[in-house]
Amino acid sequence: MELIALPDFHHELLALCALIFLIIAVWIGVRLLPKRYKSFKIHSREDLYEASRILSSCHKFDALLQELNPYKYAPATPPLPRELRRRVEKAVDECKREEKLIQIKERARQKIYNVAKKNRKDLLWKFLKMLKR
């Protein structure tokens, strides 16, 4: 049995197959990874209300919230200026990040408290056993 001769362009063919395989692997990897944090965008009046609700919890954006109020409550207002919209979107994203950090810190604090509580119970139990002897 004779071997079939490889074509002259076999290196390019192998490189093309490797490139296609790499593109498919990267595409699958990107699809399987969890979605990153999606930034807040204002498209409608409901988004404006949501932004004002989120910003009301962050006290450092009170001035921005006051700028936003005329656009929020008037029935026939002009659209939100682009500069103000961008500032509001950035502020909302910052507030959400801060809230997430606070939640993470609170969960860590709760875990530490639970471990300390368990250790205290164990120490108290050992102390009581020692007293009974």
Residue 20 lies in a domain: no
Residue 28 lies in a domain: no
Supply the pLDDT for residue 52.
87
Residue 115 lies in a domain: yes
pLDDT by position in tens, the chain (length 133): 687 887 788 888 899 999 999 999 999 988 888 767 678 888 888 888 888 888 888 888 888 888 888 887 777 767 788 898 899 899 999 998 888 888 998 888 888 888 777 777 777 767 767 777 6
Total domain count, the chain: 1
Supply the pLDDT for residue 126.
74
Angle at 95 between CA 67 and CA 71, to 5 degrees: 25
pTM: 0.54
Residue 107 lies in a domain: yes
Domain assignment of residue 51, given as a range: 45-132
